[in-house]
């Protein structure tokens, strides 16, 4: 299997909202079988729609998106990567949001390319990153 593209939450949101043409163009050029999200991103998307109970159309679009992408479950390999990643960031005196750190660890465990425009991820040297917003 070819290396998956793991979309971070911001990138998934750009696709769902359709408000970043460069992201949609890049997405259209890649087989859907290579597009994935972490279960952490699924949780963030579900939280977002739950906060907006009147946004019925948004809920439908999110559900349609989730049906189409692979959702990787959190596992022991991801937990090991998280432990190592968090320890190395703390040792370097760097901080990162907890959910972002979980997503980064998941990408490392999967050998995936993380699709993000969040510069915080660039501090993780072993992480393959692509920014589809440019």
Mapped onto helix, strand or coil, the DSSP state of residue 133 is coil
Pairing label, strands 5-7, 35-38: parallel
| Model pLDDT, residue 17 | 94
pLDDT band at 1 (very low <50, low <70, confident <90, very high): low
Quickly count helices (H) and strands (E) in the chain: 6, 5
Per residue in 62-109, pLDDT (tens digit) is 999 999 999 999 999 999 999 999 999 999 999 899 999 999 999 999
Cα–Cα–Cα angle for 42, 44, 74, nearest 5°?
Answer: 50
**For the chain, which domains are there?**
5-130 (3.40.50.1010)
* Total-model pTM: 0.94
């Amino acid at each position: 299997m070819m290396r998956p593209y793991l979309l971070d939450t911001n990138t998934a949101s750009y696709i769902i909202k359709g408000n970043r043409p460069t992201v949609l163009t890049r997405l259209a050029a890649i087989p859907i079988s290579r597009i994935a999200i972490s279960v952490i991103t699924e949780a963030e998307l579900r939280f977002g729609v739950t906060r907006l109970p009147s946004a019925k159309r948004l809920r439908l679009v999110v559900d349609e998106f989730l049906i189409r992408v692979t959702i990787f479950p959190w596992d022991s390999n991801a937990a090991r990567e998280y432990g190592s990643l968090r320890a190395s960031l703390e040792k370097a005196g760097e901080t990162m949001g907890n959910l972002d750190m979980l997503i980064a660890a998941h990408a490392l465990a999967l050998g995936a390319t993380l699709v993000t425009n969040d510069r915080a991820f660039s501090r993780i040297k072993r992480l393959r990153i692509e920014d589809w917003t440019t």
